[in-house]
Structure 1
Amino acid sequence: MRIRPTVLVNTPEIELWPAHLLRARSNANARVIARATHVLRRKRDGRFLAASTAAGLETLAWNWRREAGVDAALRALAAPAHGTHVDDHDLPLARIEHRLHALGLDAEAYGARTGLALVAEPAALAFAGFDRYRRPLWLRPAAARAWHVMQDAARRDGIALEAISGYRSHDYQLAIFERKLARGQTVDDILTVNAAPGYSEHHAGRALDISSPGEPPAEESFERTAAFEWLQANAGAYGFVMSYPRDNPHGIVYEPWHWCHRG
């Protein structure tokens, strides 16, 4: 019987995804992924590089062995419990510090101004079900357990809570900035609505953007829903807090949808 792992193994440049949770972009890739346990996925653009199958590593992208970070990914793949065990340590921050400098963003000054700290990515994350869009939701194990318990409790009270997003990598946040910069926005403009790459609570695998059926994602109108009222009254019992209320000291816009598991 083929192993169906439920852990996302994280390395600085490449993620090891459980193959059964991925959707292939081509028929050729689909056939390979159907035989695989894990897929090496490049973080900066989501491209599939190679698949781990019973026959060994099968190529999904030409010249993938020359990819930055592939050696670290292969070492992680060879670890005995990579498919089932969540290794509770964080990845180093040096790489994101270098990339912030390339954006022209002074990390030390930004941290001092906002009161936000650089957030490390976890080395592995637990599968926490699916979000509204049927994408796999990844969180640290404690946050995943708390989310399931809280979601079930809300359901018993007649409230449907939907996850919009959970863990996001530094590369994902960098891509948001790069797209907005390409559209002519300035870094200062972007920082009014997005935390700088490396400073988002989503990087830690503890934060969730939450909505309810029929509500647009990440909109202030969420505060007028029964779901938000329920969260205000009950989320603290499950370890979740709303990170960015109105007039928060970090200078981030009011985000009634953003809740972080603090234990």
Structure 2
Amino acid sequence: MTRFPPLPLKTVLLNTARIEVWPARLLRARSNHDARALARARHVLRRKRDGVYLAAELYTGLLPLTPNLQREPGLTAALDALDALHGHARFGIEHIGELELHGLHERLGMLGLDEANYARRTGLTLVAEPDWLAFAGFDRYRRALWLRFDAARAWLQLRDAALRDGVLLEAISGYRSHDYQLGIFERKRARGLGIDDILAVNAAPGFSEHHGGLALDLGAPDEPPAEESFERTAAFEWLQANAGDHGFVMSYPRDNRHGIVYEPWHWCYQPA
């Protein structure tokens, strides 16, 4: 397994409507061509919809990794975000913006999901994505864990406090884009599942706390992810007693008002 030295909290993911800009060293090469490019790159432009690597930003300029890069939707916004980063734009809680939701409304309609009815039934509201996220270490599967800056800082403090008490908390997942959740629905619809069947096990795209970069799914060693059995672990007992001191609450207890199944693993940071 590849081991990465710690990266500072200021390591960021630049987020735009269609493209993410990743630090190159946090991505895995998918081909020899990618490997050569990533070895020299500072950042990589990655299409959100399907994860395709679009271009590598080298010290000598931009290296296309896909044909017709100049016609890629959202390219200008991604390059503008990269320019702002190199212009030494300050990244902090006071500089977190939100992406627009207009494209999400359109895609929800194409899926056949009645957005207004779903919101009324669950009491949930659409969650905008932040325009940048902070690197908060790696999850259980050695994937980069991205959270909003304040949630990332609080998570690291929570994790370290638990460790001092002899409890190991594992992050299962953090930020998820609208595109990620939409992809789940689109694939299931393509297999013939109805929208109500999918909603029985998956939150509607755009309505998950994970989209805002504030929510974490947590686990414990040797415990399967996202299972109710997590409530019987020492990690869950510790969270119940201590998570609130670090700003985290369990979003979906039993019989919650949203009608969402009991999720003892799902904890969300509440900004002061």
Query: The TM-score by the shorter chain falls in which range?
Result: over 0.9
The equivalent position to 1:197 in structure 2, one of 187, 197, 205, is 205
2:252 is the alignment partner of 1:247: no
2:6 is the alignment partner of 1:8: no
2:100 is the alignment partner of 1:95: no
CA–CA distance in structure 1, aligned partners of residues 184 and 172 of structure 2: 16
Change (3 A) 1:84 1:37: farther
- Matched with 1:43 is 48
- Matched with 2:126 is 118
The equivalent position to 1:218 in structure 2, one of 215, 226, 229, is 226
CA–CA distance in structure 1, aligned partners of residues 71 and 163 of structure 2: 48
Backbone CA RMSD of aligned residues: 1.6
CA–CA distance in structure 1, aligned partners of residues 88 and 187 of structure 2: 33
Q: CA deviation at 1:58?
A: 0.3
- State the secondary structure of the residue aligned to 1:164: strand
- Matched with 1:61 is 66
The answer to whether the 8 A contact 1:194-1:252 is kept is: no
CA–CA distance in structure 1, aligned partners of residues 143 and 65 of structure 2: 21
CA deviation vs aligned residue, 1:156-215 (integer Å, no higher than 9, x gap): 111100000000000000011122223332211221222110000000000000001111
Q: CA deviation at 1:81?
A: 4.4
CA–CA distance in structure 2, aligned partners of residues 84 and 31 of structure 1: 31
CA–CA distance in structure 2, aligned partners of residues 113 and 35 of structure 1: 50
TM-score normalised by structure 1 residue count = 0.95
TM-score normalised by structure 2 residue count = 0.92
Change (3 A) 1:51 1:83: farther
CA–CA distance in structure 1, aligned partners of residues 71 and 90 of structure 2: 28
Change (3 A) 1:45 1:88: same
The answer to whether the 8 A contact 1:9-1:82 is kept is: no
CA deviation vs aligned residue, 1:89-108 (integer Å, no higher than 9, x gap): 10011111111111111211
The answer to whether the 8 A contact 1:51-1:60 is kept is: yes
CA–CA distance in structure 2, aligned partners of residues 238 and 181 of structure 1: 39
Ranges in structure 2 where 5+ consecutive residues have no aligned partner: 1-7
- State the secondary structure of the residue aligned to 1:73: helix
2:167 is the alignment partner of 1:162: no
Ranges in structure 1 where 5+ consecutive residues have no aligned partner: none
- State the secondary structure of the residue aligned to 1:9: strand
- Matched with 2:3 is none
Q: Which moved more, 1:56-65 or 1:130-139?
A: 56-65
State the AA in 1 paired with 2:56.
A
- Matched with 1:227 is 235
- State the secondary structure of the residue aligned to 2:20: strand
CA deviation vs aligned residue, 1:214-237 (integer Å, no higher than 9, x gap): 111111111111111111111111
Q: CA deviation at 1:83?
A: 8.1
- Matched with 1:21 is 26
